[in-house]
Amino acid sequence: MSLFSCKPFQVWLAALACLPLGSVAHAVPLQWVTVGDPGNTADTAPAGYGAVATSFQIMKFEFTNQQYTDFLNSVATTDTYSLYNANMGSNARGGITQSGASGAYTYSVKTNMGDKPVNYVSWFDAARVSNWYQNGATSSSSTEIGAYTLVGGQISGTAPAVNPGATFYVPTEDQWYKAAYYMGGGTSAGYWDFATQSDSNPTAVTAGSTGIGSAGSTGNFANYLSAADWNGQNGNVTTVGTNGGPSAYGAFDMSGNLTEWNDLTGAAGSLRGYRGGYFENYAPNTYSYFRYLNSPDTENLAVGFRLAGPVSSPSPVPEIDPATGSSALSLVAGVLAMIEQRRRRAALVA
């Protein structure tokens, strides 16, 4: 007799078959890295950044155009909260087009832009993405409550504080800084100057015709200095994770591609922060001392984001694609593989 019954899995499949597919979004799963060494010391040059009391997770890559397109198609058929910026479609460095009329908007990634980081997003957009994931990442998931409480359809003004217990949120400045520059391996390990585990200026990447960075995922490289020429642009965003090596904790593109929103301390305020270099920056702006403050409703071609969360938060489960069901099949295959692995382990010790 098998030690592992398939009955719970059969029940799960039955429940899956009853789901109304139109209510479930197709969301690209987020990939996380864990930032450990809790209670680490702050940097001394520049002074005062990077100390974080607890371990946390942060996205391995910048949030992409494909991920943001899935979000838009889920919640922005009317686009009540101005989540889509027309420059995403009209500017060659933007990656998303909008079609149809209000109430029936649909969104598509441009050719070769799905795996590039999304730009023209405000802090409020990132906060709504956080809420969407926190509430299940479906077409019925609220974008207005969860990690942040946005009142009256707020798209400008004072950014609210992150709510206690948030499982997806914009990282604080110290969290972002630590994930990028801390050397790891202890609570007083020190900091790199660049997010490629280096104190030397990274070499600027070039790009092929589809925007894949020339460095791959290793080495002291970054997408800056307008060196990644493709799609007719003198400098452009490039495929996430192809622009040199990661930080000590495994996060990519934190010294280039796009500068990224941070939540400062996480308290409410009229300003939010940027950290990291971007594709047009000169070398000093990829360095750890570069920081910038701006209104949270700012949207431009140089700024994107990645999310953070507590270590205890599971990554989002791959969700069902209403058109193909491919994500559901992937999930089924994964569960079956897990059951088979457990059966084999049980047989070995029987």
**What are the tens digits of pLDDT across the range 257-271?**
999 999 999 999 999
203-223 average pLDDT score: 97
Distance CA 255, CA 51 (A): 19
- The answer to whether the beta carbons of residues 272 and 303 sit under 8 Å apart is no
> What CATH code would you report for 30-196+245-316?
3.90.1580.10
pLDDT given at position 312: 73
As a whole-number percent, the residues of the chain with pLDDT over 90 amount to 78
Question: For the segment 180-210, what is each residue's pLDDT rounded down to a tens digit?
Answer: 999 999 999 999 999 999 999 999 999 999 9
Alpha helices per DSSP H over the chain: 7-17, 65-75, 87-90, 123-134, 173-181, 326-349
- pLDDT tens by residue, 87-120: 999 999 999 999 999 999 999 999 999 999 999 9
| Dihedral, CA of residue 113, residue 28, residue 141 and residue 297, to nearest 10 | -40
Domain ranges of the chain: 1-24+320-350, 30-196+245-316
